[in-house]
Homo-oligomer: A and B are copies of this chain.
């Protein structure tokens, strides 16, 4: 072994010969490759060097931290309006669901269908079959009912009598009992009504609220009438400052607009937000 060692290491000729064997060619190539890698650009160094694992670990660590921070940021700042306003969404009331005016048989059938799915129903009255509608629904369910009279009662005494009758039938609120022009009559009704009276047609925007404070118990705020979230919020603020109650209503809307309207619903007494449930082409469902 000593001899072999000395042969390789000390004899120039022997060295030369060994270098020129195929095996030695491989050695040279490997050495060349290692040198190449060592002298190539920083990225290649990273790929092959021992420090790469550490570097990428640190990088991955930063990415995770950054991602976590972004998520926190997102949760904090991509705030829905109810959070900006500081409301508790657990206090959102159940929406009413509208039972359309129809023949008693159809009304009975419809009421049966939705009685299990909703906690409160809504019925539009103000016609000559008001009592029939209510009796029909009451033959099927005892759910609380909200009434939208749609300015339909023309006489204040008739309206008040109807409200007393409705109170006996488990109705919980009345919207717009008389035409919006008859504000004094409505004030007269509200003063004596056993049920809260809400303004619907009487109200559009923030500027209308003050004039209604002595005529109605509350107001029905609809985004599509009041121009949007900011004004809606001001209307809620103003109504509450006047000691009025607030309900939120809707038009025929997709769940996009309903979702917007629901943002201030934790503060309302009644939510009439079934617009998206009454259409078949809700793109935001």
Q: A-side interface residues toward B, CB under 8 Å?
A: 1, 4-5, 8-9, 17-18, 20-23, 26-27, 30, 43-44, 47-48, 52-53, 63, 66-67, 70, 73-74, 77-79, 84-86, 206, 209-210, 230, 233-234, 237-238, 241
CB-CB < 8 A to A20: which residues of B? 1, 4
> Are B17 and A4 in contact (CB-based, < 8 A)?
yes
Cβ distance A263 to chain B, nearest Cβ, rounded Å: 13
> So how many copies of this chain end up in the complex?
2
Cβ distance A155 to chain B, nearest Cβ, rounded Å: 33
Q: Which of A74, A237, A238 has the most CB of B within 10 A?
A: A237
**CB contact under 8 A between A17 and B30, given known A47-B52, A70-B70, A209-B241:** no
Cβ distance A265 to chain B, nearest Cβ, rounded Å: 17
> Are A47 and B43 in contact (CB-based, < 8 A)?
no
A22 to B5: give the CA distance in the assembly, Å.
7
**CB contact under 8 A between A8 and B23, given known A77-B78, A78-B77, A237-B237:** yes
Please list the 3 inter-chain residue pairs (A to B) with the smallest Cβ-Cβ separation, ordered nearest first: A4-B17, A77-B77, A234-B237
**CB contact under 8 A between A86 and B230, given known A30-B30, A63-B63:** yes
